[in-house]
């Protein structure tokens, strides 16, 4: 199965209402007077990080990518649970874990460690509390909204390719927790850009049953000569969101498109429909 096929099979299982139909990156649970946000991401050696990667950076990225999902919900982190396969430089991993948890003031709640042969595989669950309700979701975009993205895309791609000026963008991404909290009361839909702007825009549009119309030249990219790559590559962890076109934004962001009706296709790029068959971004597939 590829990722889409596996998710389709999962949706046939009994789902909690808080699972949001598995159309989102987080679960949203009402517990007493609190709204809790839960997310879980995994990383695998050879897919998400090189075998030569500094374990400090691996630890940082594992935490940061999960916190980025919380940021897209405007959530305040409560803590993390980690699943870790013991390796050759566990002390260095602990150094990175301590650093990222200290920077974002997030405590460790627990988890599990195992011994395993072969490539290293890691998992992490992050738990947060909503700072605004209703919590921003992917499925709230409204026809007539403007589409925005924070920051500059393609920096992680350049870092991965060896550009020392952008190495940190790939190795130690920065979850936009403050920006997410500021945006939460104002957006109609929001998610982070993890798998590429085009693929994530397509996902947001499909969840909202709208058409997102992007202007590629409006997208801020680190290297304009590689614009096509930058909007597909991913690992940016910027925030992609929709909001009323006349709204005064509380954070710096660039308007990159509009939301239209759903009678054409989920995603238009420069007026042309595109689909997941067009290699929009990163999707997982089986090795078979």
Q: Which residues contact 255 (CB under 8 A, 6 or more apart)?
A: 146, 147, 148, 218
Q: How far apart are CA 230 and CA 221, in angstroms?
A: 7
Out of 130, 158, 187, a domain closes at 130
Q: What is the rounded CA–CA span in Å between residue 76 and residue 186?
A: 17
Task: Answer whether residue 163 is part of any domain.
Answer: yes
266 within some domain? yes
- Looking up residue 212, the CATH number of its domain turns out to be 3.90.650.10
pTM of the model: 0.92
CATH code, domain carrying 97: 3.30.1330.10
Instruction: Give the structural domain span for 46.
Output: 3-130
Q: Do 105 and 8 fall into the same domain?
A: yes
Q: Are residues 91 and 221 in the same domain?
A: no
pLDDT of residue 262: 80
Helices (H), 172-220: 177-183, 197-208
For strands 108-115 and 75-86, give the pairing: parallel
Q: What is the tally of structural domains in the chain?
A: 2
Per residue in 69-95, pLDDT (tens digit) is 999 999 999 999 999 998 889 999 999
Express as a percent the part of the chain with pLDDT over 90: 78
Domain stop point among 130, 146, 171: 130
The residue out of 97, 130, 163 marking a domain boundary is 130
147 and 106 part of one domain: no
**In-domain check, residue 14:** yes
Residue 288 falls inside a structural domain: no
Report the pLDDT value the prediction gives residue 246, as an integer from 0 to 100. Answer: 95
Supply the DSSP symbol for 135: P
* C-alpha closest to that of 233 among 163, 173, 154: 154
Residues 143 and 269 in one domain: yes
Ranking 192-196, 203-207, 253-257, 259-263 by mean pLDDT, the lowest is 259-263
Closest CA to 198 of 249, 145, 267, 125: 267
């Amino acid at each position: 199965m590829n990722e889409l096929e596996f998710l389709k099979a999962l949706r046939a299982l009994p789902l909690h209402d808080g699972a949001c139909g598995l159309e989102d990156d987080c679960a949203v649970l009402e517990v007493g007077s609190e709204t809790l946000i839960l997310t879980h991401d995994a990383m695998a050696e050879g897919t998400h990080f090189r075998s030569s990667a500094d374990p400090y950076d691996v630890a940082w990225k594992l935490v940061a990518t999960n916190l980025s999902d919380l940021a897209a919900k405007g959530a305040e982190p409560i803590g993390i649970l980690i699943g870790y396969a013991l390796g050759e430089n566990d002390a260095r991993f602990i150094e990175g874990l301590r650093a990222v948890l200290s920077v974002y003031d997030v405590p460790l709640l627990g988890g599990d460690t195992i011994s395993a042969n072969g490539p290293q595989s890691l998992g992490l669950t992050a738990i947060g509390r909503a700072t605004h309700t209703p919590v921003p979701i992917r499925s709230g975009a409204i026809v007539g909204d403007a589409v925005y993205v924070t920051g500059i895309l393609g920096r992680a791609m350049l870092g991965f390719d060896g550009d020392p000026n952008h190495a940190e963008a790939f190795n130690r991404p920065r979850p936009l927790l403050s920006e997410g909290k500021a945006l939460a009361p104002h957006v109609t839909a929001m998610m982070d850009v993890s798998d590429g702007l085009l693929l994530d825009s397509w996902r947001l549009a499909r969840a909202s049953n709208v058409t997102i119309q992007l202007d590629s030249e409006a997208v801020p990219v680190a290297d304009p000569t590689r614009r096509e790559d930058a909007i597909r590559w991913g690992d940016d962890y910027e925030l992609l969101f929709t909001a009323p076109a006349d709204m005064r934004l509380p954070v710096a962001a660039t308007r990159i498109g509009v939301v239209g009706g759903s009678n054409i296709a989920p995603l238009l790029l420069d007026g042309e429909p595109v689909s997941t068959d067009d290699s929009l971004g990163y999707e997982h597939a089986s090795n078979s």
